[in-house]
């Protein structure tokens, strides 16, 4: 048995030049002195920076040029993402649209949907959000109850989504709705592309534990969409939504959310001889290096047209556990004054507070491990 099918990856020629391009953009535009905004940076919004990236050709890296993409390889896209994340660049505004919304439209959308939305996404001007969770459908996503009903050629949506990251800044939502009345579980679900300025939609903020506004409740009250509000095939919402999961689960954002804190720890260590700190730096480096190997191996296989779903799940579980552990491991070996303005203290405090979400968002630890167990053939 081999738990993880590893195809060694080779980085593309020109990798170094591409990194330098991304770093130059960061040096020029990420000058904000607020270091806390570097933590968990793919949930930090800066539309202006997103537009800069769009102009630099760093969003929609792999998409066809006719939709504003750049027809680069998956590994080139990976390089751009890992450079942005490791530097703590504020990529939250366009992140979901780049990772999920546009790829979904390119795969299942109509020509009209693609032309209407994808170029704006590539430009860093159009943002997306994900409407999966509902008050009574969390881990048990198949219990989604929000409904889509046909009315002539139109669709009429009713119900409620919750925990919707960025609904308040997004232009469109890809939402999972029950399109067949009386259907059960994962049958009878469809995906809809919902412009969030459509009448009947109410978005209410949910303030998170640090006092920030990242996620929302979204209410649908007789929201009327034209026929082409449907994405892909009616009734295939479940398989369409889950087909994208490997991409969502194995990217560098699944282990780099706390990376700037590791960088700060190294700065703190400076010329220090503190064995506990040095050993922790070494341990974190060993784990980050390993996760990068794993995440790149999955990216390589996806680029070759495979769907390494089990491997992607493993990357997310290991990666989330690491990025979640980092602030508390640091707290254990460094004497910190969390009320000070010291960079290490500020970042540790921020990540202690937001890191519980790392093993919840995008599928909880327990759900992921259940998937791994099934992949192992446990019955």
Partner 1 sequence: MNEQQTMLADMAGSLFSALSHGATVAADWGRIEEMGFAGLLLGEEEGGFGGGWADAGIVFRLAGYHALALPLVEAVVAARLAADAGFAGDGFGTLAEKTEGGIDDGGFTGFLKGVAWGREAGYVVAPSPSGGAMILSPRDAVIEKRQNAADEPRDILRFSGAPVVPVDADIFALGAAARSMQMAGALDAALELAVGYVNDRKQFGKPLGKLQAVQQALAVFACEAAAANSAAVGVAQALDRGDASFEVAAAKARANMAAGLGTSIGHQAHGAIGFTHEYGLHPLTRRLWSWRSEFGGEHHWTMLLGTRIAAAGADNFWAEMVRRSDPVA
Q: Which of 291, 299, 330, 349 binds partner 1 (CB under 8 A)?
A: 291
266's contact among partner 1, ligand FAD, none, with CB below 5 to 8 A by partner kind, is partner 1
132's contact among ligand FAD, partner 1, none, with CB below 5 to 8 A by partner kind, is ligand FAD
Residue 91 to residues 5, 174, 319: CA-CA distances in angstroms?
A: 31, 19, 19
Q: How far is the CB of 165 from ligand FAD (least distance, A)?
A: 3
Calculate the CA 288 to chain-centre distance.
18
Structure tokens at 125: 């001007």
- The vertex-133 CA angle with 109 and 217, nearest 5°, equals 100
What are phi and psi for residue 46, nearest 5 degrees?
Answer: -150, 85
Q: How far is the CB of 307 from partner 1 (least distance, A)?
A: 17
Question: What is d(CA 327, CA 322) in angstroms, rounded to the nearest whole number?
Answer: 10
Residues at the interface with ligand FAD (CB under 6 A): 129-133, 138-139, 163-165, 215, 357, 360-361, 364, 366-367
Question: What is d(CA 64, CA 71) in angstroms, rounded to the nearest whole number?
Answer: 5
Q: Which of 271, 305, 335, 341 binds partner 1 (CB under 8 A)?
A: 271
What are phi and psi for residue 361, nearest 5 degrees?
Answer: -60, 140
Quick check: 377 binds partner 1 (CB under 8 A)?
yes
Given the rule CB under 8 A, which of 38-46, 130-138, 240-248, 279-287 is the region that contacts partner 1?
279-287
Structure tokens at 308: 């390494």
339's contact among partner 1, ligand FAD, none, with CB below 5 to 8 A by partner kind, is none
Say if residues 93 and 121 touch (Cβ distance below 8 Å): no
- In the set 83, 248, 253, 264, the catalytic residue is 248
Around Cβ 372, how many Cβ atoms within 10 Å?
Answer: 16
Structure tokens at 159: 């119900």
Closer CB to ligand FAD, 3 or 139, in the complex? 139
Quick check: 24 binds partner 1 (CB under 8 A)?
no
328's contact among ligand FAD, partner 1, none, with CB below 5 to 8 A by partner kind, is none
The terminus-to-terminus CA distance of the chain in angstroms comes to 17
Given the rule CB under 8 A, which of 95-103, 149-157, 227-235, 278-286 is the region that contacts partner 1?
278-286
Given the rule CB under 8 A, which of 138-146, 204-212, 213-221, 257-265 is the region that contacts partner 1?
257-265
255's contact among ligand FAD, partner 1, none, with CB below 5 to 8 A by partner kind, is none
48-87: contacts with partner 1 (CB under 8 A): 82, 86-87
Beta-carbon contacts of residue 147 (< 8 Å; ≥ 6 apart):
157, 158, 159, 177, 178, 179, 181
Beta-carbon contacts of residue 215 (< 8 Å; ≥ 6 apart):
162, 163, 164, 165, 166, 167, 206, 208
Q: How far is the CB of 295 from partner 1 (least distance, A)?
A: 9
Residues with a catalytic annotation lie at: 248
**Interface ranges with partner 1 (CB under 8 A):** 1-4, 6, 8, 10-17, 19, 82, 86-87, 259, 262-264, 266-267, 269-272, 275, 277-283, 285-294, 297, 311, 314, 317-318, 366, 368-370, 372-373, 375-379
């Amino acid at each position: 048995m081999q738990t993880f099918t590893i195809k060694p990856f080779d980085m593309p020629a020109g990798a170094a030049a591409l990194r330098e391009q991304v770093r130059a953009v960061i040096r020029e535009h990420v000058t904000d002195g607020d270091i806390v905004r570097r933590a968990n940076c793919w949930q930090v919004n800066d539309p202006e920076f997103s537009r800069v990236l769009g102009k630099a050709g760093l969003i929609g890296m792999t998409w066809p040029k006719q939709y504003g993409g750049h027809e680069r390889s998956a590994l080139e896209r990976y390089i751009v993402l890992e450079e942005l994340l490791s530097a703590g660049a504020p990529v939250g505004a366009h992140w979901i649209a780049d990772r999920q919304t546009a790829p979904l439209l390119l795969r299942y959308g109509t020509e009209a949907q693609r032309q209407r939305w994808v170029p704006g996404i590539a430009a860093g001007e159009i943002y997306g959000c994900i409407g999966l969770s509902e008050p009574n459908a969390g881990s048990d996503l198949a219990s989604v109850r929000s409904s889509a009903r046909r009315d002539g050629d139109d669709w009429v949506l009713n119900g409620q989504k919750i925990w919707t990251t960025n609904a308040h800044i997004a232009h469109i939502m890809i939402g999972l709705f029950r399109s067949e009345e009386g259907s059960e579980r994962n049958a009878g679900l469809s995906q809809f592309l919902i412009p969030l300025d459509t009448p009947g939609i109410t978005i209410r903020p949910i303030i998170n534990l640090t006092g920030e506004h990242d996620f929302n409740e979204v209410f649908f009250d007789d929201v009327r969409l034209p026929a082409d509000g449907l994405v892909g095939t009616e009734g295939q919402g479940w398989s369409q939504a889950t087909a994208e999961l490997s991409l969502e689960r194995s990217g560098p954002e699944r282990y780099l959310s706390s990376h700037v804190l590791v960088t700060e720890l190294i700065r703190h260590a400076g010329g220090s001889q503190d064995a506990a700190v040095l050993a922790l730096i070494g341990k974190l480096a060993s784990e980050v290096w390993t996760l990068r190997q794993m995440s790149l191996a999955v990216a390589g296989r996806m680029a070759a047209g495979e769907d390494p779903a089990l491997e992607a799940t493993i990357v997310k579980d290991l990666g989330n556990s690491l990025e979640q552990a980092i602030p508390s491991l640091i707290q254990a070996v460094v004497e910190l004054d969390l009320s000070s303005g010291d960079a290490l203290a500020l970042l540790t405090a921020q990540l202690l507070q937001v890191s519980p979400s790392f093993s919840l968002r995008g599928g909880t630890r327990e759900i992921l491990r259940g998937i791994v167990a099934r992949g192992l053939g446990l019955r």
